Structure formats: structure tokens, C-alpha cells
Structure 1
Amino acid sequence: MERREFLKISALGSVSLGACGGEGLGNAYGASGVKEADVVQKYAQLIPANKGLDSAWVRSLTTRGEKQTYTDRKALEHIGMPVGGLFAGTVYLGGDGRLWLWNILNDDREGIEPRPISYKGTALRARDGTNYVTPAPRAYPFEQNFGLRVKDQLRTLDADGFKQIVFSGQYPIGEVTYEDASCPFRVKLSAYSPFIPLNTEDSSLPVTVMSYT
């Protein structure tokens, strides 16, 4: 079943249940069930196209934010920018350009790291924000890296291979630059997943692009 058709049917079922006054799904889809036209009309009544929202607030939802830049080593350790396709699991771009988290194995994990913690006398779960209170440690279940070879010297493109690293994030593209006084080259990484407005199929490809220049 196509994703779009699934979402359409799911939404139809939710609205139909409400339109039937809680009579249950059996009656809603029985021989005398609710017609789709009635559901559409009911939906338009409950959620009108013109919601009277503040126009300035609506514009703020689509205004692109300012690029954020980080150079501090400690700050770089806590960066995790999503660069996996929509509905294709979660892969993070770290502050030094390495990929981490790799929540792509359908292990039904809650949050980045499902670990309970205690905060000000209250037990917190992942859904309560544990990974904001105490940032999750970076996990690298796969051996993955890129490198730059200059003559007989090989440098890994990460915090181990370069002393100066700058991370700039402006979703959906994360940029990492690598510099070192002992290296004659400056390397720039642009990492992203295909993210095309109004194109769900191509935006949900399980692909991460790592472009080095």
C-alpha cells in the first residue's frame, strides 16, 4: 500500500469515528456507514481552512533560521543533526563529521537513548527529555570514517585527524570544515539527506550524502 493512501485511510478512520458520535468502527464502516463526502464535510467544519491564525506567526514557521556555528570541542561532542531520510530511521551527523546513533535496525527504541535518569528528585524517561537533561553519549556501532592522504600521511576527517573543526548547521544541510596548521589543505564536508518539499517519496529515501571538497 502506498504511504499516501495509508495516511488517507488513517485520517478517514479517525474522523469517521468522531462523526459517528462514538458508535464504534463497526457501525462506521457497516452497510449504513458514513459516506466519504460526509466525512469531508465534517472535517471542514471541525478544521476550517481559514483558522484565523496570526499571519506573522504563520510566516515564522517557514522562515529559514540563521546558521549556527560551533568550534568548541565540548560543544562539538554533543551535536547530533538528523541526516537520514524521512521515515527511514535516524542517523546523526556529529560535530566532527562522523555519523552516529544509527537507529535504523527496527529495534523499537524510545528516544535517542532509552535510559531513565533522576532529575531534581523526579524520575525521567526518554519521552520526558532525559537526553536533553543529560546528553546521550555518541554511539558508533559501525566502523565508518573518511580520510585525506597527503603523500605518505593519512589524516582521518574527524576530531582525531584535525585540530581545528568548525560545524555549521542549517537544516537540512550540515557543514563541517577541517583545518590544521600542519596540513596544506582545508577540507569542507556538506552532509544531508534528500529533502525536497512536497516530494515525500524522494525525501524518504534511506540515503545520506557526504560531499567533501
Structure 2
Amino acid sequence: MKPLINSISFLLLIALYSCTGNKTVNDMTIKREFNDIYRGENLNRVAFPIGGMGAGMICLEGTGAISHVSVYNKPDIFNEPTMFAAISVKGLEHGAKVLEGPIPDWKVFGRPMSARGAPRTSYGFPRFDYAEFEARFPFGMVTLKDEEIPLDITLTGWSPFIPLDEDNSSLPCGALEYKFVNNGSKEVEAIFSYNTVNFMKQPGCKNSIKPISNGFILSNERSKESPELH
């Protein structure tokens, strides 16, 4: 049986080589200079971590989406709750869009539950036509462009990182800053909003979304049975 197994293995190697030909890994991906801006398909797997060292984290993706939401003392890299920023420009037929670039194909067709229509996602909402990402730790910067939106938009995500100051560099916090610039000659009136489910809630706890000035707090109050979930 050994000669037969060896022959089959050899044939499989030949078949695999013939499928790829003489292509290298670089030939099958979009070439990009080291430390350059991410564009096109190179955005598909970008996930820039935000959160203090040793603390919880979220990730800012290359398109501007938020994923890898890990806030309960363990990595949760597939946790992508429904949360997004949006803009609505007055007077435009297609002026309401999620502030993200195009959704990568692997999410639409390969994400869990995608065969059932990707429930609990915002994939059906309109998004910007173009996005690019630049990483300059501790800052991750997303640029969004769309022919129908007369604004230059940038999103910067960051968290405290201070050399030789491990305490403040470990704070469990992060920030997302949205910047809108009107470079046209006409005045633009628009509404910005941030929308999310309460991804802090846990079973058996009292959870709520509490209003504050110009924002909200996602709340999860511990119970006597689960005091650690707070």
C-alpha cells in the first residue's frame, strides 16, 4: 500500500502546483509598499486594536467598521455587534449613508449566519464607495469618499499610549473621532448619528441604555447571582 499512497500524494502535489502555476503569493495579492496606505482588497482583513494594554479592546477595521469587541475579560474576535455611525445630508436623494467603506465579500458570504441573510447586521444599508486606511500607532485613520456626498471625511481611532507611563497606557478606554470638511462652494447641512445595540448586556443582569448630554451610556448592572458581570 505504501507505493500507492506515495503515488497519490505525488499526483496531488502536481495538481496543486499546476493550479497555481508559477505564481507567487505576491502575484495573487495587490502589491503594497511597506507601511503604505491600505486600499482595495488590502483593506479586507485590517483590524486595528483600540483599548489600553492589558484591558478590553475593540478593533477599527480598514473600512471604518467596528469588530472584535472584547469587553468581558477574554478575546472575542468574532463579536461584531450592530453598531455604526451614519450621516444624512439634507437635500440629496442618496444623502444618508453609513460611515464605512464597502463590506468585504468574505463577510457577506463567509460570516456565521450569512446564508440566512446575515441577521443583526447593517449590511443592507448604503455605504461609501471608497475607503482607505493608514496605520500610525497608536492612531488608525480611515478616509471615506463618495461622489454623492460633498464632504471629505476622516475617522481616527486611538487609545492612550504613553512611553514609560504604563498606568495611563493601560487605561480601558479608546476614542473614535469623525471629521467632516466641506471643500465645496455651497453650504452643507447634515446630521451625524451613532447607532448601536447594547453590546454590554449579559444574561441575568439589568441592562439599559442611559441618555447623557450629546450621547448615551450602555449599561449592564450586576445581579446578586452574577456580581462579576458588571
TM-score normalised per structure 1: 0.51
Determine the C-alpha separation between the residues in 1 that align with 2:72 and 2:80: 11
Paired residues for 1:38-77 under 5 Å? 67-72=35-40, 74-77=41-44
Q: Is the 8 A contact 1:196 1:202 kept in 2?
A: yes
Alpha-carbon distance, 1:176 to partner: 0.3
Aligned residues: 119
Paired residues for 1:56-205 under 5 Å? 67-72=35-40, 74-107=41-74, 109=75, 139-151=78-90, 153-160=95-102, 161-205=127-171
Alpha-carbon distance, 1:67 to partner: 4.3
Query: Is the strand fraction higher in 1 or 2?
Result: 2
Q: Which structure 2 residue ranges, 5 or more long, are not aligned?
A: 1-33, 103-126, 180-230
| 1:202 counterpart letter in structure 2 | N
Deviations, residues 135-182 of structure 1 (Å, cap 9, x unaligned): xxxx34322111122116321111241111010111111000000111
Alpha-carbon distance, 1:200 to partner: 1.6
Determine the C-alpha separation between the residues in 1 that align with 2:144 and 2:81: 22
Q: Is the 8 A contact 2:50 2:58 kept in 1?
A: yes
TM-score normalised per structure 2: 0.48
Indicate the percent of aligned positions where both proteins have the same amino acid: 29
| 1:148 counterpart letter in structure 2 | I
Alpha-carbon distance, 1:102 to partner: 1.4
Secondary structure of the residue aligned to 1:202 is helix
Secondary structure of the residue aligned to 2:43 is helix
Q: Is the 8 A contact 2:66 2:80 kept in 1?
A: no
Secondary structure of the residue aligned to 1:146 is strand
Determine the C-alpha separation between the residues in 1 that align with 2:142 and 2:154: 6
Determine the C-alpha separation between the residues in 2 that align with 1:150 and 1:182: 10
Partner of 1:119: none
Q: Is the 8 A contact 1:68 1:170 kept in 2?
A: no
Query: Is the helix fraction higher in 1 or 2?
Result: 1
Determine the C-alpha separation between the residues in 2 that align with 1:143 and 1:198: 36
Q: Is the 8 A contact 1:147 1:154 kept in 2?
A: yes
Determine the C-alpha separation between the residues in 2 that align with 1:98 and 1:208: 15
Give the number of the structure whose alpha-carbon radius of gyration is greater. 1
